């Protein structure tokens, strides 16, 4: 079928098309590209020597260390929790299942600052549980455990959110088949469930990691901003900026931007793999 | 290995899927569970496998109680309706799965597993596909791989859930024949679920007809077709032509239609006469014992006989009538759509309104 010049589809007028493309490109440039380039430009503005000294500054290194430490605890915790939760809500019928699926989204719906305040109220030295914990000489708030706790809270939906639709769509047929064939619970998970969800799981992990590294609001409430002790990289950026150390602030910011770019790269790779997995090659499918 | 079910019940929430099912499935037979959707046949199959739990009652394999035995321990072969092949494994890996997950002490060495997989692939005639992934197979191929995978653990019981449901007619027929041959060769006890009466009657040694969570009738294919014990079985196994009317003085009549009962029928009241398509002849004029005017609605020439769909003239039937005539007779008679003709019953089955079992009538003198 040939399409004649006169039969244009809706929105096919060249001026509509090009003005929309132009608008989108301009906005992308103004809102995304220029700020990103500026981060690196500012970081390098005082020369590579100053960049290096900013990077190797004791407090910056401490902030990098703490941030990686928090992410290293948060990601495995939420990985296990997310898989467990997704398995629970997609493989079992129980009262309150729908409510649970809705509850998973609470960390997305609540502002991180509010989440931080809630934890402070509950676990702070004047809080309900905090007082009791303080008697036992356990300090959660204004220390790294508190930072890990709020980060876990803020990032806990990512893995489960990725897995639930996939596991719902895949159904339980393959798992039932594996059990009928004699697989134990662990064999079932390792040989059947995990390979089927691995790319979605990795995607969830990448998003969890990105958010855990970049979380500001909730962490700033519970951290207490003690330099070299409870300062994560995003908090460090703000502190440096308030100290009028613009180059230092942007150096740390460029580190976060690098992590973001890396995340994007890994994310697109996983999306590409997932698309390949979903679109099977179907040659010879019409012979018996 | 024989299978016995004793008083099995199953609820899904408020819905009772199985009502007090007791059934004996003899060793070595191919048994079909037949019923419309929602009749509980798949639930029953899954309970035998252990994929669902029975609420009351017991399940026995060869006299041994397996009711509390986990699916994993029951060692039955199960073929799923949508095959449930492991999508991330090759065909060979799929078939090897049951052997690979055996405890180390029982697991055959790798070379032995490879040999067994090759044998199974040979048996299902798909040796050339061993390194393909399920997504690269056609429906019929997937079905055969699913079967090979189930047979790898050498089960004595093979359960198949709608094994040919998702296949097209031609492939379905081939696979049916192939499965029957395989069963005759290997002699396991097989149970399969189907909603297709033709499939059930053609493939099984015994058919269990189910409806609304209960067993309607159990029997060999011929017995079921020739002597249905209930209206449901009658309706479900093949087409049936019904004349409903009142029976007075040995004559069942409704509107312009009537049928004179043979000697010895002395009941009266509201009755229904059930006639199979092959128990009716068509003629140009009515006969002494029946006046059933019909108009030809459509003519289907495909198959061993010509099937005519007919609508009643001057009386009512809930379903259009269907009568089969031979191609020879069709060529001689050459009926056209819209022609009027008369049905003549040879054999019929009379149901009283409250009755569940029919009384068989015969008009042909022998």
Q: What is the pLDDT of residue A5?
A: 55
Q: How far apart are CA A63 and CA A27, in angstroms?
A: 33
Q: What is the pLDDT of residue A163?
A: 94
| Tens digits of residue pLDDT in B308-318 | 999 998 898 88
Q: What is the pLDDT of residue B248?
A: 85
Q: How far apart are CA A189 and CA A178, in angstroms?
A: 10
**Average confidence (pLDDT) over B242-247:** 88
The domain defined by A47-287 folds into: MetI-like fold (1.10.3720)
Q: How far apart are CA A122 and CA A142, in angstroms?
A: 13
**Average confidence (pLDDT) over B137-143:** 90
| Tens digits of residue pLDDT in B267-296 | 788 888 888 888 888 888 888 888 899 999
Which residues in chain A touch residue B53, judged by CB atoms under 8 angstroms apart? none
Its pTM stands at 0.78
- The answer on pLDDT for B227 being more than 60 is yes
Which residues in chain A touch residue B141, judged by CB atoms under 8 angstroms apart? 288
| Tens digits of residue pLDDT in B6-33 | 999 998 888 888 999 999 999 999 999 9
Residue by residue, pLDDT tens for chain A (288 residues) are 444 555 667 767 888 889 999 999 999 999 999 999 998 888 888 788 888 888 888 899 999 999 999 999 999 999 999 999 999 999 888 899 999 999 999 999 999 999 999 999 988 888 888 888 888 888 888 889 999 999 999 999 999 999 999 999 988 899 999 999 999 989 999 999 999 998 899 999 999 999 999 999 999 999 888 888 889 999 999 999 999 888 888 999 999 999 889 988 988 888 888 777 655 544 444 444
Q: What is the pLDDT of residue B335?
A: 87
Q: Is A169 on the interface with B (CB under 8 A)?
A: no
**Considering only CA atoms, which of B98, B210, B117 is closest in space to residue B158?**
B98
Chain mean pLDDT for chain B = 89
CB B202 within 8 A of CB B176: yes
Phi, psi torsion values for A139, nearest 5 degrees: -110, 120
| Tens digits of residue pLDDT in A73-117 | 999 999 999 999 999 999 888 899 999 999 999 999 999 999 999
CA distances from A44 to A37, A51, B309 (A): 11, 6, 87
Question: Out of B50, B101, B171, whose CB is closest to A187?
Answer: B101
Q: What is the pLDDT of residue A281?
A: 46
Q: Do A191 and B101 touch (CB under 8 A)?
A: yes
User: To 5 degrees, how large is the angle CA B316–CA B321–CA B326?
Assistant: 150
Q: Do A182 and B102 touch (CB under 8 A)?
A: yes
Q: At what angle do helices A246-278 and A58-91 cross, to 10 degrees?
A: 30
Q: Do B88 and A196 touch (CB under 8 A)?
A: yes
Q: What is the pLDDT of residue B225?
A: 83
Alpha helices by DSSP H, listed for B71-187, are 71-74, 91-100, 110-123, 139-151, 169-186
CA distances from B205 to A66, B26, B148 (A): 72, 10, 22
- Those residues of chain B whose CB sits closer than 8 Å to some CB in chain A are 49-51, 71-72, 75-78, 80, 82, 84-88, 97-98, 100-102, 133, 135-138, 140-141, 149-150, 152-153, 171, 174
ipTM above 0.95, yes or no: no
């Amino acid at each position: 079928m040939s399409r004649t010049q006169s039969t244009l589809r809706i929105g096919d007028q060249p001026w509509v098309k090009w003005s929309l493309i132009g608008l989108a490109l301009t906005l992308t440039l103004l809102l995304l590209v220029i700020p990103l380039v500026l981060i690196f430009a500012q970081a390098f503005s005082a020369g590579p020597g100053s960049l290096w000294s900013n990077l190797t500054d004791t407090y910056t290194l401490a902030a990098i260390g703490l941030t990686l430490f928090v992410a290293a605890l948060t990601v495995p915790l939420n990985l296990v929790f997310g898989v467990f939760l997704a398995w629970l809500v997609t493989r079992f019928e129980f009262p309150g299942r729908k409510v649970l699926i809705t509850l998973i989204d609470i960390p997305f719906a609540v502002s991180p600052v509010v989440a931080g305040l809630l934890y402070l109220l509950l676990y702070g030295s004047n809080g309900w549980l905090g007082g009791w914990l303080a008697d036992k000489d356990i300090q959660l708030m204004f220390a790294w455990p508190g930072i890990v706790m709020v980060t876990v809270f803020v990032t806990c939906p990512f893995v489960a959110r990725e897995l639930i639709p996939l596991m719902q769509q895949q159904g339980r047929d393959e798992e039932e088949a594996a059990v009928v064939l004699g697989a134990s619970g662990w064999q079932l998970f390792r040989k059947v469930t995990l390979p089927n969800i691995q790319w979605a799981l990795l995607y969830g992990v990448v998003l969890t990691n990105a958010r855990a590294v970049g979380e500001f609001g909730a962490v700033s409430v519970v951290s207490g901003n003690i330099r070299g002790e409870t300062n994560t990289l995003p908090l460090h950026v703000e502190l440096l900026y308030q100290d009028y150390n613009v180059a230092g602030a942007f150096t740390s910011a460029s580190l976060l931007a690098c992590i973001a770019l890396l995340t994007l790269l890994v994310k697109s790779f996983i999306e590409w793999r997932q698309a390949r997995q979903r679109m099977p090659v179907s040659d010879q499918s019409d012979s018996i | 290995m024989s299978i016995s079910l004793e008083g099995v019940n199953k609820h899904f929430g408020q819905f009772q899927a199985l009502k007090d099912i007791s059934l004996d499935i003899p060793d070595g037979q191919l048994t079909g569970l037949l019923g419309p959707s929602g009749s509980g046949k798949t639930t029953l199959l899954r309970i035998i496998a252990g994929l669902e739990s029975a609420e009351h009652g017991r399940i026995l394999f060869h006299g041994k109680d397996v009711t509390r035995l986990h699916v994993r321990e029951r060692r039955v072969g199960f073929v799923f309706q949508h095959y449930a092949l492991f999508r991330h494994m090759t065909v060979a890996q799929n078939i090897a799965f049951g052997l690979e997950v055996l405890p180390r002490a029982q697991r055959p060495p790798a070379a032995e597993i490879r040999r067994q997989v090759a044998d199974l692939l040979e048996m299902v005639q798909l040796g050339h596909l061993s390194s393909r992934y399920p997504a690269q197979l056609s429906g019929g191929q997937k079905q055969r791989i699913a079967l090979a995978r189930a047979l790898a653990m050498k089960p004595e019981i093979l359960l198949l859930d709608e094994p040919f449901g998702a296949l097209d007619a031609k492939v379905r027929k081939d696979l049916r024949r192939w499965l029957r041959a395989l069963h005759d060769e290997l002699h396991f006890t097989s149970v399969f679920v189907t909603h297709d009466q033709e499939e059930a009657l053609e493939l099984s040694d015994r058919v269990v007809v189910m409806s609304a969570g209960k067993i309607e009738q159990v029997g060999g294919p011929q017995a079921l077709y020739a002597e249905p014990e209930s209206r449901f079985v009658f309706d479900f196994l093949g087409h049936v032509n019904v004349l409903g009317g009142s029976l007075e003085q040995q004559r069942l009549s409704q509107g312009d239609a009537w049928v004179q009962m043979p000697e010895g029928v002395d009941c009266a009241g509201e009755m229904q006469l059930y006639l199979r398509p092959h128990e009716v002849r068509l003629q140009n004029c009515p006969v002494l014992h029946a006046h059933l005017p019909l108009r030809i609605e459509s003519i289907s020439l495909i198959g061993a006989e010509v099937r005519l769909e007919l609508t009643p003239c001057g009386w009512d039937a809930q379903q259009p009538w269907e009568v089969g005539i031979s191609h020879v007779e069709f060529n001689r008679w050459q009926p056209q759509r819209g022609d009027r003709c008369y049905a003549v019953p040879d054999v019929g089955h009379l149901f009283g309104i409250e009755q569940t079992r029919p009384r068989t009538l015969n008009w042909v003198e022998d």
